[in-house]
């Protein structure tokens, strides 16, 4: 009898232990992110409560990405699909339609302060994303993100003469750390809507990560402050760093417009080379997602040395210098600072 009781007690304890084990695989929120930078935000917010699929991985170019059949399957099975929007993912509408899925599509950039492309025409895509996933509470940064939805995003004009454009607004809004905090809060709100039980975790994670982003902002500002004003003109492959330039007083020029799919004309190249010579650009950089041909040509014609590689539209692989958003921002500013110091 005693042996039987002991066996029942042991079995009961084992059952309780099994019930206490996390069932992440069964309960995880299925999330699809369009590219690696948004995926990093999602990981920091979702932690172990999400099962994350990234469509365009490290060093991938979302401008020219061609979806695979497995991408449609992932979207069909997803609870939440995180996108940048602003015309960045040209493949997205077709992919969502092909998937036949009913997942909530969340524009992570909703409410960010955008830069307008002067020559841009409104072929930036409206994906009919639910606006209720774009609340802007708990931003924790100094911009006021209340905005008039009649003009969906606040924006500023930027000088983009002699560049090609692929939309009304520059889609690379994550290159501003302030905007990155907007992305994080939008993602937290989306996860809360899809998984109310996990909402306290998502909100806490978002607050913690945004504190790290605030610290990053201060570090980057201090680093850039050491760069002389006449050493702040930077040449890159495509027009992806205007937000970084606005945030830190840097001037970026490139032979291609906001999309790597645009072709630089001979006139564009000639104008850029004249600008480099006239303004004595501090540095010229390759990008991790772009063909190096144009930058190598410019370097050859101007006699400038290539200062290394910047990360624009994608993170590096895990073993690279920019495997997270914070690492990417630090790497880019460090590379620019080092190149200016060596000039």
CA distance 244 to 248: 6
The pLDDT value recorded for residue 256 is 52
The answer to whether the CB of 304 falls within 8 A of the CB of 284 is yes
The pLDDT value recorded for residue 341 is 79
pTM as predicted: 0.77
The answer to whether the CB of 177 falls within 8 A of the CB of 248 is no
Residues in Cβ contact with 109 at an 8 Å cutoff, skipping those fewer than 6 apart: 84, 85, 86, 153, 171, 173, 174, 179, 182, 183, 186
The pLDDT value recorded for residue 307 is 86
Task: Give percent of the chain above pLDDT 70.
Answer: 72
Hey, is 34 helix, strand or coil?
strand
CA distances from 243 to 40, 197, 200, 256, 268 (A): 19, 36, 31, 16, 22
Q: Which has the higher per-residue pLDDT, 37 or 231?
A: 37
The pLDDT value recorded for residue 135 is 37
* pLDDT (mean) for 156-165: 38
CA distances from 146 to 112, 113, 139 (A): 10, 10, 11
Residues in Cβ contact with 295 at an 8 Å cutoff, skipping those fewer than 6 apart: 235, 236, 237, 255, 284, 285, 286, 306
Question: pLDDT tens digit string along 270-296?
Answer: 777 777 777 678 788 988 877 777 888
| Residue ranges of domains in the chain, CATH in brackets | 24-215 (3.40.50.1980), 224-342 (3.40.50.1980)
The pLDDT value recorded for residue 168 is 87
pLDDT band at 328 (very low <50, low <70, confident <90, very high): very high
Hey, is 253 helix, strand or coil?
strand
Which of 228-232, 238-242, 298-302 is least confident?
Answer: 298-302
The pLDDT value recorded for residue 343 is 65
The pLDDT value recorded for residue 107 is 98
Residue 63 reports pLDDT greater than 90: no
């Amino acid at each position: 009898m005693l042996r039987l009781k002991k066996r029942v007690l042991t079995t009961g304890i084992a059952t309780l232990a099994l019930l206490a084990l996390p069932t992440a695989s069964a309960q995880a929120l299925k999330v699809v992110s369009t590219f690696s930078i948004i995926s990093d935000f999602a990981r920091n917010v979702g932690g172990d409560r999400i099962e994350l699929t990234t469509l365009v991985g490290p060093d991938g170019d979302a401008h020219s990405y061609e979806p695979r059949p497995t991408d449609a399957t992932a979207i069909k099975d997803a609870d939440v699909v995180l996108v940048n929007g602003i015309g960045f993912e040209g493949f997205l509408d077709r992919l969502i339609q092909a998937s036949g899925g009913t997942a909530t599509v969340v524009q992570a950039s909703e409410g960010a302060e955008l830069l307008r492309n002067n020559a841009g025409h409104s072929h930036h895509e409206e994906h009919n994303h639910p606006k209720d996933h774009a609340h802007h509470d708990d931003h924790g940064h100094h911009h006021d993100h209340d905005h008039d939805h009649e003009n969906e995003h606040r924006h500023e004009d930027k000088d983009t003469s002699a560049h090609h454009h692929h939309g009304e607004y520059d889609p690379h809004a994550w290159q501003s750390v302030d905007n990155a905090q907007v992305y994080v809060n939008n993602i937290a709100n989306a996860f809360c809507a899809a998984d109310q039980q996990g909402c306290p975790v998502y909100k806490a994670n978002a607050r913690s990560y945004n504190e790290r982003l605030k610290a990053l902002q201060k570090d980057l500002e201090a680093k850039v402050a050491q760069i002389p004003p006449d050493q702040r003109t930077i040449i890159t492959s495509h027009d992806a760093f205007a937000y970084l330039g606005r945030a830190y007083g840097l001037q970026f020029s490139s032979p291609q417009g906001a999309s790597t799919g645009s072709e630089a004309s001979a006139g564009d190249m000639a104008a850029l080379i004249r600008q480099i010579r006239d303004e004595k650009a501090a540095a010229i950089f390759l990008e991790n997602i772009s063909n190096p041909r144009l930058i190598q040509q410019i370097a050859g014609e101007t006699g400038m040395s290539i200062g290394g590689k910047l990360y624009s539209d994608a993170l590096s692989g895990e073993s690279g210098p920019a495997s997270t958003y914070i690492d990417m921002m630090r790497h880019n500013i460090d590379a620019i600072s080092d190149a200016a110091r060596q000039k």
